[in-house]
Amino acid sequence: EPVQVTELVGEALDRCRQSASNKQITLASGGTENLHVWGNRGQLAAALGNLVENAVNYSPARTRVGIAGRRIAAPGGDLVEIAVTDQGIGISAADKERIFERFYRVDPARSRDTGGTGLGLAIVKHVAASHGGEVTVWSAEGQGSTFTLRLPEAGNAREKAESGREGRSGRREHRLSGA
């Protein structure tokens, strides 16, 4: 089914509103208007929710968590990029290699109070891949992190109707190379 990115972002933010306000973390979002991705709505919402939850969990009080959407032109069909940026503790280069593994947590002692199991990012990676997309991370220790979800764009209803008439299979079959 086509899923509105604005709705996904809204659900992800709702899920984190309480923990964010406890830490006086500002949640902001933008750029998601008229973006649609194709796939399982619940899975996509859970994936984005995990990224926002991490951003809040691994950030100090009185910082900002932003979610930004945008469309990227790509040869095989446009992509939707959803970037979650925090001003948190950041992730070292060595840990960046491993955080998407199941049960891997950086410094479990320090992050024990966040009560996680280390499955969140493994789920995000799985959901991204099963939707023909990918998740990547940029981070600088002590400065913050940006997790970026890239998914094939579903296109708007008119585009889909037209591609159907032309007998094309549509963009939902597009796969990112190397994902």
Stretch that binds Mg ion, among 84-92, 112-120, 126-134, 135-143 (CB under 5 A): 112-120
User: Judging by beta carbons within 10 Å of its beta carbon (0-12, 13-18, 19+), is residue 41 exposed, middle or buried?
Assistant: middle
Nearer to Mg ion, 74 or 106 (CB): 106
Instruction: Give least dist CB 47 to ligand ATP, A.
Output: 11
Q: If binding is defined by CB under 6 A, does position 106 make contact with ligand ATP?
A: yes
Is position 120 an interface residue for Mg ion (rule: CB under 5 A)? yes
Q: Total number of residues binding ligand ATP (CB under 6 A)?
A: 22
DSSP 25: P
Q: Does 86 bind ligand ATP (CB under 6 A)?
A: yes
Residue 45 has phi, psi (to 5 degrees) of -65, -40
Tokens of 81: 């990029």
Residues 137-176, one symbol each (x = binds ligand ATP by CB under 6 A, - = not), give: --------x-------------------------------
- Of residues 107 through 126, those in contact with ligand ATP by CB under 6 A are 111, 116-122
Q: How many chain residues interact with Mg ion (CB under 5 A)?
A: 3
C-alpha 148/C-alpha 39 separation (Å) is: 17
Q: How far is CA 34 from CA 31, 147, 154, 161, in A?
A: 9, 21, 10, 17
CB 77 within 8 A of CB 152: yes
Residue 105 Cβ vs ligand ATP, minimum distance, rounded to whole Å: 3
In the list 58, 127, 151, 154, the residue contacting ligand ATP (rule: CB under 6 A) is 58
Structure tokens at 82: 């959803």
Please tell me whether residue 29 binds Mg ion under the rule CB under 5 A: no
Nearest to 155 by CA among 164, 146, 143: 164
Query: What is the C-alpha separation between 35 and 56, in angstroms, rounded?
Result: 24
What residues make contact with ligand ATP under the rule CB under 6 A? 50, 54-55, 58, 86, 88-91, 99, 104-106, 111, 116-122, 145
What residues make contact with Mg ion under the rule CB under 5 A? 54, 116, 120
